[in-house]
Amino acid sequence: MAENDPEEIMLDAEMRMESAVEAFQRELAGVRTGRAHPSLIEGLQVEHYGQTQALNQLGTINAPEARLLAVQVWDAGAVQSVVKALQASDLGLNPNIDGQLIRLPIPQLTEERRREYAKLVHQKAEDARVSVRNVRRHKHDELRKSEKSGDMTQDDLHDYEGNLQKLTDTHTGLIDVAMKRKEEELLEL
């Protein structure tokens, strides 16, 4: 494998763009829509015994009802740490403690809160698109270096640039579709 192999550059570009789209989709899962879903809180960081861990590593999270999340904390000593992290989050949830079980009723979203979440989704989408465009820019520079070093012709460079732009358009399109789907979810009553 040559350092400036255009095929390797394109494969790496595609992998990095896919990673950006996947990261965006994971972020969207954490945006509240008024329905209970474990992904809403599973990545929440909890400070416990001097270490920070994701909530899903401290207990089992499920949604027994459409508007209720339940967290079964495995270690009784971690319950207060989990409650503290939930209260400190910007999710607006009010935990109810029953031994090692924490119930989180999901309140109905107000119209104003739905609009705020929609703006947040748009911002996250723009960040993801920027990430994809940054990959394009870096890979474009690598392709130009490859052409300058004689690994490809100018015609090949032009073809690869076109393919890189198509990759970019495809991945930004996936981001836009996910954003619109989440926005519709947020704004439906």
| Stretch 43-70: mean pLDDT | 88
Largest CA distance in the chain: 69
User: Are 6-29+110-187 and 38-105 the same fold in CATH?
Assistant: no
pLDDT band per the 50, 70, 90 thresholds, residue 144: very high
Domain at 38-105: CATH code: 3.30.1360.40
- pLDDT value at position 1? 43
Domain boundaries, the chain: 6-29+110-187, 38-105
CA angle 181, 186, 189 (to 5 degrees): 120
Write down the architecture of domain 6-29+110-187 according to CATH.
Orthogonal Bundle (1.10)
Say how many residues make up the chain. Answer: 189
Range 83-115 burial, b when 16+ CB lie within 10 A, else e: bebbeeeebebebeeeebebbbebeebeeeebe
